[in-house]
Protein backbone atom coordinates (compact mmCIF):
# COMPACT_ATOMS: atom_id res chain seq x y z
CA UNK A 1 0.00 0.00 0.00
CA UNK A 2 1.66 3.09 -1.25
CA UNK A 3 -0.72 5.76 -0.05
CA UNK A 4 -2.21 4.78 3.23
CA UNK A 5 -5.18 6.16 5.06
CA UNK A 6 -4.92 8.01 8.31
CA UNK A 7 -4.90 5.87 11.37
CA UNK A 8 -5.65 7.24 14.80
CA UNK A 9 -2.88 8.62 16.96
CA UNK A 10 -4.03 6.25 19.67
CA UNK A 11 -3.19 3.25 17.48
CA UNK A 12 0.30 4.61 16.85
CA UNK A 13 0.91 5.22 20.53
CA UNK A 14 -0.42 1.79 21.54
CA UNK A 15 1.70 -0.08 18.98
CA UNK A 16 4.74 1.91 20.07
CA UNK A 17 4.09 1.12 23.73
CA UNK A 18 3.67 -2.59 23.02
CA UNK A 19 6.89 -2.79 21.03
CA UNK A 20 8.68 -0.84 23.75
CA UNK A 21 7.57 -3.48 26.26
CA UNK A 22 8.85 -6.25 23.96
CA UNK A 23 12.14 -4.39 23.67
CA UNK A 24 12.45 -4.21 27.45
CA UNK A 25 11.46 -7.79 28.29
CA UNK A 26 14.26 -9.26 30.37
CA UNK A 27 16.16 -11.93 28.46
CA UNK A 28 19.41 -13.80 28.85
CA UNK A 29 22.29 -11.64 27.64
CA UNK A 30 23.05 -13.84 24.65
CA UNK A 31 19.50 -13.60 23.32
CA UNK A 32 19.23 -9.97 24.24
CA UNK A 33 22.24 -9.14 22.07
CA UNK A 34 20.50 -10.50 18.99
CA UNK A 35 17.01 -9.23 19.81
CA UNK A 36 15.47 -7.42 16.87
CA UNK A 37 14.89 -3.72 17.53
CA UNK A 38 11.09 -4.05 17.70
CA UNK A 39 10.57 -0.49 18.82
CA UNK A 40 12.73 0.92 16.03
CA UNK A 41 10.88 -1.26 13.55
CA UNK A 42 7.53 0.11 14.71
CA UNK A 43 8.78 3.70 14.59
CA UNK A 44 10.11 3.21 11.07
CA UNK A 45 6.95 1.44 9.98
CA UNK A 46 4.83 4.42 10.96
CA UNK A 47 7.33 6.73 9.32
CA UNK A 48 6.95 4.77 6.10
CA UNK A 49 3.20 4.35 6.46
CA UNK A 50 2.13 7.76 7.76
CA UNK A 51 4.92 10.10 6.67
CA UNK A 52 2.72 13.20 6.89
CA UNK A 53 2.25 12.73 10.59
CA UNK A 54 5.15 10.61 11.76
CA UNK A 55 8.38 12.12 10.52
CA UNK A 56 11.84 12.57 11.98
CA UNK A 57 10.54 14.78 14.81
CA UNK A 58 8.10 12.15 16.06
CA UNK A 59 10.82 9.50 15.68
CA UNK A 60 13.17 11.70 17.70
CA UNK A 61 10.61 12.02 20.49
CA UNK A 62 10.05 8.27 20.38
CA UNK A 63 13.79 7.70 20.68
CA UNK A 64 13.95 9.87 23.81
CA UNK A 65 11.76 7.27 25.52
CA UNK A 66 14.50 4.67 24.94
CA UNK A 67 17.12 7.06 26.31
CA UNK A 68 15.10 7.51 29.47
CA UNK A 69 14.51 3.79 29.93
CA UNK A 70 18.06 2.72 29.04
CA UNK A 71 19.77 5.55 30.89
CA UNK A 72 21.77 6.44 27.80
CA UNK A 73 22.89 10.04 27.14
CA UNK A 74 19.86 12.18 26.48
CA UNK A 75 18.80 12.15 22.80
CA UNK A 76 21.29 9.47 21.74
CA UNK A 77 18.59 7.08 20.56
CA UNK A 78 16.51 10.11 19.61
CA UNK A 79 19.11 11.22 17.11
CA UNK A 80 19.62 7.69 15.76
CA UNK A 81 15.86 7.29 15.29
CA UNK A 82 15.54 10.67 13.60
CA UNK A 83 18.31 9.86 11.13
CA UNK A 84 16.83 6.43 10.35
CA UNK A 85 13.37 7.99 9.97
CA UNK A 86 14.78 10.61 7.61
CA UNK A 87 16.27 7.87 5.43
CA UNK A 88 12.90 6.09 5.41
CA UNK A 89 11.00 9.28 4.51
CA UNK A 90 13.37 9.89 1.61
CA UNK A 91 13.30 6.33 0.36
CA UNK A 92 9.69 5.59 1.15
CA UNK A 93 8.42 5.39 -2.41
CA UNK A 94 11.18 2.99 -3.32
CA UNK A 95 10.40 0.97 -0.21
CA UNK A 96 6.71 0.55 -0.97
CA UNK A 97 7.39 -0.32 -4.59
CA UNK A 98 8.70 -3.66 -3.39
CA UNK A 99 6.79 -6.48 -1.74
CA UNK A 100 7.32 -6.85 1.99
CA UNK A 101 9.69 -9.78 1.65
CA UNK A 102 12.05 -7.80 -0.54
CA UNK A 103 11.83 -4.77 1.73
CA UNK A 104 14.00 -6.77 4.11
CA UNK A 105 17.02 -6.01 1.97
CA UNK A 106 16.13 -2.34 1.65
CA UNK A 107 15.66 -1.98 5.40
CA UNK A 108 19.01 -3.59 6.13
CA UNK A 109 20.99 -0.39 5.46
CA UNK A 110 18.42 1.64 7.40
CA UNK A 111 18.88 -0.48 10.51
CA UNK A 112 22.61 -0.37 9.90
CA UNK A 113 22.48 3.44 9.88
CA UNK A 114 20.52 3.36 13.14
CA UNK A 115 22.97 1.01 14.82
CA UNK A 116 25.94 2.90 13.43
CA UNK A 117 24.66 6.18 14.91
CA UNK A 118 24.47 4.49 18.32
CA UNK A 119 27.89 2.93 17.87
CA UNK A 120 29.34 6.26 16.86
CA UNK A 121 27.81 8.25 19.73
CA UNK A 122 28.87 5.54 22.19
CA UNK A 123 32.38 5.78 20.82
CA UNK A 124 32.45 9.57 21.20
CA UNK A 125 31.12 9.17 24.75
CA UNK A 126 33.99 6.81 25.51
CA UNK A 127 31.92 3.66 25.64
CA UNK A 128 33.88 1.66 23.16
CA UNK A 129 32.00 -1.57 22.64
CA UNK A 130 33.29 -2.99 19.42
CA UNK A 131 32.08 -6.54 19.41
CA UNK A 132 30.81 -8.21 16.29
CA UNK A 133 27.54 -9.24 17.89
CA UNK A 134 26.69 -5.64 18.28
CA UNK A 135 25.56 -5.75 14.64
CA UNK A 136 23.30 -8.78 15.08
CA UNK A 137 20.14 -6.70 15.70
CA UNK A 138 20.66 -5.06 12.29
CA UNK A 139 20.21 -8.43 10.62
CA UNK A 140 17.54 -9.77 12.93
CA UNK A 141 15.49 -6.58 12.56
CA UNK A 142 15.78 -6.62 8.77
CA UNK A 143 14.83 -10.30 8.68
CA UNK A 144 11.80 -9.75 10.86
CA UNK A 145 10.72 -6.56 9.09
CA UNK A 146 8.32 -8.24 6.59
CA UNK A 147 6.45 -10.06 9.37
CA UNK A 148 6.36 -7.05 11.66
CA UNK A 149 5.27 -4.67 8.89
CA UNK A 150 2.64 -7.17 7.76
CA UNK A 151 1.20 -7.36 11.28
CA UNK A 152 1.16 -3.59 11.69
CA UNK A 153 -0.46 -3.16 8.27
CA UNK A 154 -3.22 -5.60 9.18
CA UNK A 155 -3.79 -3.79 12.47
CA UNK A 156 -3.95 -0.44 10.67
CA UNK A 157 -6.39 -1.88 8.11
CA UNK A 158 -8.59 -3.24 10.87
CA UNK A 159 -8.88 0.18 12.34
CA UNK A 160 -9.33 2.12 9.13
CA UNK A 161 -11.78 -0.54 7.98
Partner 1 sequence: MLGLSDDDKPRFLGRRIAPGLKLVALAIISIVLMMVDNAHDSLSTVRGALAVALEPVQMAAEMPGDAANYLKNYFDRGNLIQENEQLSQKVLLLQGRLQQLAALQAENERIRALLASASSINQNVLIARILAVSPDPYRQYVKLNKGSSDGVFVGQALIDAHGIMGQVTNVTPLDSRAILISDPNNGIPVEVNRTGLQTIAQGTGRSNALTLPFLPNNADIKVGDLLVSSGLGGRYPPNYPVARVTKVVHRPGEEFLDVTAKPTADLDRGREALLVWNSNSNDDPPAPDNAGKSGQPPAAAKDDASGASDNKAAQ
- Give the one residue of 7, 15, 23, 111 binding partner 1; rule: CB under 8 A: 23
**Could you give the residue ranges of the DSSP H alpha helices within the chain?**
9-24, 29-34, 38-49, 56-70, 76-90, 92-96, 100-124, 136-160
Cβ 71 to partner 1, closest distance in Å? 6
In whole angstroms, what separates CA 159 from the centre of its chain? 22
- Give the Cα separation of 117 and 101 in Å (integer): 26
The reply on whether position 126 binds partner 1 by CB under 8 A is yes
Cβ 35 to partner 1, closest distance in Å? 8
Give the Cα-Cα-Cα angle 120, 122, 124 (nearest 5 degrees). Answer: 70
Task: List Cα–Cα distances, 156 to 7, 33, 83, 87, 161, in angstroms.
Answer: 6, 30, 25, 22, 8
The reply on whether position 112 binds partner 1 by CB under 8 A is no
Count residues binding partner 1 (CB under 8 A): 48
Cβ 121 to partner 1, closest distance in Å? 7
Could you say which residues in the range 52-81 bind partner 1, by CB under 8 A? 52-58, 60, 64-65, 68-76, 78-79
Binding residues vs partner 1 (CB under 8 A): 9, 12-13, 17, 20-21, 23-26, 29, 32-33, 52-58, 60, 64-65, 68-76, 78-79, 82-83, 86, 89-90, 121-122, 125-129, 131, 134
Amino acid sequence: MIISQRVSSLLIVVTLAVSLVITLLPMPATMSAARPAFYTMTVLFWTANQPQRFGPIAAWLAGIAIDVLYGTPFAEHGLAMAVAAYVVVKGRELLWSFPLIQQSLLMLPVFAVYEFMLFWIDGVAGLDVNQWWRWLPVFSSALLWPIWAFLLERIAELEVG
